[in-house]
Amino acid sequence: MSLAEFLEAMKECPDAELRDRLGVGDNWPILLGADFSRVVEHSNADRGRWRFNPKLTAGFKVAFVDLGEYRIVDYLPGSVSLYVCSWVTPLPGREALEQQLATEGYRTTMAIDFGDDDLPPIPNTPVSRAVAMAITDVADLLQQHRIRACFPDAKFGSELLRYEPK
């Protein structure tokens, strides 16, 4: 299945069924075959959809260890934030997949997360739909800049959902 088919299925899926049918939910990871600095540069340049949140970034701690660079970016329509991390986030219970993806050159993670309290909700939009909207906008960004991606939490067909630029 292709990324375009997944995005279309997400668009057509009822809000209440996004998690069960397609795996769309909180802390939704997208693993990237690109350097952290390149990903941050492109998300910073897309001012219409994303805005760096220095306050939230400064207060973010990961297991009290330094894993590398990270940025937290607000999704400007509201409701969700995007965590951009210079490491591949753990995939609990899927360590073999995590290792495989690391050997394939995936080294940066974007994770779409339910936003903090300072981020306004999108009017008349459940958070699950806001996550789906953010996934669509991230997919647009990845395709525009030809960044290879893997979507390990997507439930869509029997294969791991990937985007490989042509």
pLDDT digits (tens, 9 = 90+) for 56-75: 777 666 655 566 788 888 88
pLDDT at 67: 67
pLDDT at 109: 93
Residue 154 pLDDT more than 80?
yes
Q: Report the pLDDT averaged over residues 107-116.
A: 87
pLDDT tens across 112-147, in order? 988 766 778 889 999 899 999 999 999 999 999 999
In this prediction the pTM is: 0.90
Residue 48 pLDDT more than 90?
no
CB-based burial, 61-91: b 16+ in 10 Å, e otherwise: eeeeeeeeebbbbbbebbbbbbbbbbebbeb
Q: Report the pLDDT averaged over residues 97-120.
A: 86
pLDDT at 17: 95
Q: Which of 132, 155, 135, 153 is nearest to 143 (CA)?
A: 135
pLDDT at 120: 85
